Amino acid sequence: MTQDRRPATWKLLGGSLLLLIAMAMLASNESNVMTYRAAAARHGGVVVEATRKGPTKGNDGDMVRVTGTPSVTKPAVDPQFGIRANVPILWRVTEMFQWREIDYGGSVSYELQWVDHPVDSSIFKQRARHRNPSALPFGGGRYLAGDMQLDGFKLSPAIVSAMPGRTHVTPDFSTLQPNMAASFRVVKGTLMTSEDPSSPQLGDLRVSWRAAPLQEITLIARNRDGTLVPAEGVEDGPGFELQVGQHDVLDMQPDLPPRPWLPWLWRVLSLVLAVFGAYALLRGVAASSARRAGPVAALGVGIALICGLGGVMWITRRADLGGILLGVAVLALAVTAWRMYERNGAS
C-alpha cells in the first residue's frame, strides 16, 4: 500500500515545486518589467530603436532613439537683414560702441567698448562727459531652421531650439537687404557702421551672427506622425534627451534600471513549467481522471495560473492589461472544468 502511494506523492511534490518555480519566475520577470516601465515613464516611456530610416507605423507614438547628423532642408533666416544659413539655430548679435564705467576701489575710469545691450550712463559718476545713446536701434535675434530632419524624422521646433553649441558664422552677405547694405559695411565677417572700422566711434554698431553647428547627435523623443516632439507630462526633464555624439539609452537616462532581458521568453518558460507542474500534480491527485483529461486540464490550469498571477500584478498598473489576463484565467479555468466534467461524466 505504501509503495503504491509513493509515485503519487512524488508527483504531488514535483508538480507543486514546478508550479512554485513557474510562479516565482513570472513574478520576478513582471516585477522587473514594471520597475523598468515605471522608471521609463518618468522620461516619456520605454524607448524603442529606429531600426530603419524614417518613422514607421510600429513606432508611431513611441519614444524612439535616433542618431546621426541632422540635415537642414529650410534654412534659418534673419528677415531684418536677409541673412540665411543652413544651420539649426541662427543668432544675431547687435553691439554698440559705448562708454563703460570701471570702478577700482573708488577710483573710476571710463572705456569705450562693444556692448550688446544699452549701458545706462545716467548712473555714471562723471556722466556729463560720458553720455551713451539711450537705446540700440535694433537688438539681437534668434531664428530656427524652417525644417530639419534626422534619420528620416522631422524635428519639431522645440527640439531644434535645443540643438547644442554656438559658433561664429560668416553669412553670405549677397542676400543682405538693400537698406542694410546702404547702412553697413562688411568687416571680417561682421557688419559695421564705422567710417573707419579700425577706429570705431561712440554709437557705432557692429552686427555679427552665431550658429548652432550641424554635428552628430543622439536624440530620444516621441514620434508623432513622423515628427519627433517632446513627450507630454513627463516627471523628469523636458520630454526628450539630446546629446552630442552616439550614446545608448542608459547613457542618456542613467536613472533607468537595466532593461529586462527577453521578458516574453521568461513568460513562455513560466507557462511551460506551470503546465508540466499542473500535469504532474493532477496525476498525483486523481490518477484515473487525470489520465483521461490530463494534457487538456494541465494546459488549462497552467494558463489560468500564469494569466491569473500576471493579471493580479498588472491590475493596479494597467487596468486594461490586468483585466484581460484575469479574464483569460477565468475562461481557461471554466473551459478546463467543463472539459473534465464532460469526459468524466461520459466515462
Residues 276 and 198 in one domain: no
Residues 286 and 333 in one domain: yes
The total number of structural domains that make up the chain:
3
Say what the pLDDT of residue 290 is.
43
Q: Last residue of some domain: 183, 212, 241?
A: 212
Say what the pLDDT of residue 281 is.
83
Q: What pTM value is reported for the model?
A: 0.77
What is the rounded distance in angstroms from the CA atom of residue 336 to the CA atom of residue 347?
Answer: 17
Q: Are 285 and 75 in contact (CB under 8 A)?
A: no
Say what the pLDDT of residue 289 is.
46
Residues 143 and 243 in one domain: no
Residues 245 and 319 in one domain: no
What number of other Cβ atoms are within 10 A of residue 16's Cβ? 14
Amino acid letter, 13: L
User: pLDDT of the chain along its 347 residues, tens only?
Assistant: 444 556 667 778 888 899 999 999 999 999 999 999 988 888 888 998 876 667 778 788 899 999 999 999 999 999 999 999 999 999 999 999 999 999 887 789 999 999 999 999 999 989 889 999 989 999 999 999 999 999 999 999 999 999 999 999 999 999 999 999 999 999 999 999 999 999 999 999 999 999 999 999 999 999 999 999 999 988 778 899 999 999 999 889 888 888 899 999 999 999 999 999 888 887 776 654 444 556 888 888 899 999 999 999 999 888 999 999 999 999 988 888 887 777 665 55
Domain range for 111: 71-212
Which of 31, 17, 16, 11 lies closest to 266 in space, CA to CA?
31
What is the rounded distance in angstroms from the CA atom of residue 68 to the CA atom of residue 33?
Answer: 30
Residues 266 and 340 in one domain: yes
Residues 84 and 188 in one domain: yes
Contacts (Cβ under 8 Å, ≥6 apart) of 198: none
Say what the pLDDT of residue 201 is.
95
Residues 49 and 176 in one domain: no
Question: What three-state secondary structure class fits 344?
Answer: helix
Say what the pLDDT of residue 2 is.
47
Q: What is the dihedral of CA 29, 30, 35, 38, to 10 degrees?
A: 150
Question: What three-state secondary structure class fits 278?
Answer: helix
Give buried/exposed letters for 191-224 (b at 16+ CB in 10 A, else e).
bbbbeeeeebeeebbbbbbbbbebeebbbbbbbb
Q: Last residue of some domain: 252, 273, 303?
A: 252
Residues 82 and 196 in one domain: yes
Residues 171 and 77 in one domain: yes
Write phi, then psi, for 7 (nearest 5 degrees).
-55, -40
Residues 327 and 224 in one domain: no
Give 146: exposed, middle or buried? Use CB within 10 Å, 0-12, 13-18, 19+: middle
Say what the pLDDT of residue 345 is.
59
What number of other Cβ atoms are within 10 A of residue 234's Cβ? 17
Say what the pLDDT of residue 335 is.
84
Residues 126 and 62 in one domain: no
Residues 198 and 92 in one domain: yes
